[in-house]
Amino acid sequence: MKTLYKMTRLTALTALTLSASLLCSAVQAQTQTLASADSRQALVDKLLSLWHVDDVAVVMVQRPAASAMEQARIALQGRVSADKRDRTLKDISTDVQTYVDEATPLARQSAQRLLKPTLSPLLLQHFNDEELRQIIALLESPVKKKFEKLAPELERTLGEKVAEDSGSAINPKLQTMTQAVGLKLRAASIAP
């Protein structure tokens, strides 16, 4: 009976030790998984801080403002004197600028608030750790920063050359299109 008791106790101790060992392994694996998830999230957070994707909010605000100014310009062309057109456009530009000044901070705040919960899951789903590190290296690259500083000058220089080269051919077409649109707008506004 004593031997049976010792065997039962030994079996129970072995089972307990095995259970504890398995539990420790599971906790260690879960800890490593959490640490890995934390490090991946840290990579995504760094990527998002370097990317400046929240600038899309500014574009969303500016696009309708620019469109409103262009539509006003078109609507006034040929309908009123140049002096009245310029005064009206200046007055409209004040309203447009007020809209931009008021709407931009709201859109930027919304983008900043929604940035991580919206984009982090997508980045975590589509990129592994090494790819995230490569994107971060690209975004931190001094060559990229140098190129971005030069890009406006490159675009302006090319734009000037294109305007110089093709302006004489494009400007008459632009004027014809603008006049045609203006005539149609006037006709539409006169017709009942």
Residue 3 vs residue 91, higher pLDDT: 91
3-state SS record for the chain: CHHHHHHHHHHHHHHHHHHHHHHHHHHHHHHHHHHHHHHHHHHHHHHHHHHCCCHHHHHHHHHHHHHHHHHHHHHHCCCCCHHHHHHHHHHHHHHHHHHHHHHHHHHHHHHHHHHHHHHHHHHHHHCCHHHHHHHHHHHHCHHHHHHHHHHHHHHHHHHHHHHHHHHHHHHHHHHHHHHHHHHHHHHHHHCC
User: What is the reported pLDDT for 41?
Assistant: 94
Q: What is the pTM of this model?
A: 0.57
User: What is the reported pLDDT for 34?
Assistant: 46
pLDDT tens string 55-101: 888 888 888 889 888 888 888 887 788 888 888 888 888 998 999 99
Domain definitions of the chain by residue range:
38-140, 142-192
User: What is the reported pLDDT for 117?
Assistant: 92
